[in-house]
Structure 1
């Protein structure tokens, strides 16, 4: 009978970001490394800095050995749910940005007289200056 794999969102994984409760995401898998932090050769701060994001590049850049990769598998608690957005905050941010853009467009439509007046005055002053020469 196949083993059911627990799926976690990046948001769920990022909430486990303390020394007592630390999860990291590497290669689409979620690892609970809380019990290993004190033993990590690079120190716990390196691992804690990798929480809340996909730490695959950080893990690969560190040049971990095959034995380290095998040890890591013992801490695997599930897989990353790729059907959910990777970073939900980005959706909120882009929505706010769209709202600001719409407000800016609304203001420019409402106050179109100011730039038109500035251009008109500039043209009139330009003509007056040319006539004096």
Structure 2
């Protein structure tokens, strides 16, 4: 019989963000670390700052070893729901849109200036 894992939404996990109720996400797994806050070698602030978001990168950067991963299993309560597949969208703020358009059209004015300089040099050399 397969093991059924409880699935949690990002919204649900993010609600558990206090010292009395603290959940974190690492590698797509959800951990209730409330009872571990006082024992965490890095202090409770580290865990509290990791709530409601994917903290995998921070966990890896801290250099947690095999013993930390084994200890985590005590606090495992489920997995984060997979995100629905959404086509990639490009959303621009006004500044981003303007900047991207300017950078797309720089070649034409640069070519005009370059041609003008070359023409000016050639004209001056003929005199």
Q: What band does the TM-score fall into relative to the shorter chain? A: 0.5 to 0.7
CA shift digits 1:52-110 (9 cap, x unpaired) = 1100000000001110110011111000101359xxxxxxxx7xx7xxxxxxxxxxxxx
Summarize the Cα distance change of 1:25–1:84 in structure 2 as closer, same or farther, 3 Å threshold: farther
For the residue of structure 2 that corresponds to 1:37, the secondary structure is: helix
Q: Which runs of 4+ in 1 moved over 3 A?
A: none
Counterpart contact for 1:24–1:33, Cα < 8 Å: yes
For 1:52 and 1:84, the matched residues in 2 are separated by 18
Unaligned runs of 5+ in 1: 86-93, 98-133
More helix by share: 1
Summarize the Cα distance change of 1:57–1:4 in structure 2 as closer, same or farther, 3 Å threshold: same
Summarize the Cα distance change of 1:84–1:23 in structure 2 as closer, same or farther, 3 Å threshold: farther
Unaligned runs of 5+ in 2: 86-90, 94-127
Match of 1:46 in 2: 46
For 1:14 and 1:84, the matched residues in 2 are separated by 18
Match of 2:21 in 1: 21
The root-mean-square deviation of aligned C-alpha atoms, in Å, is: 2.2
* TM-score for both structures, normalised by structure 1: 0.62
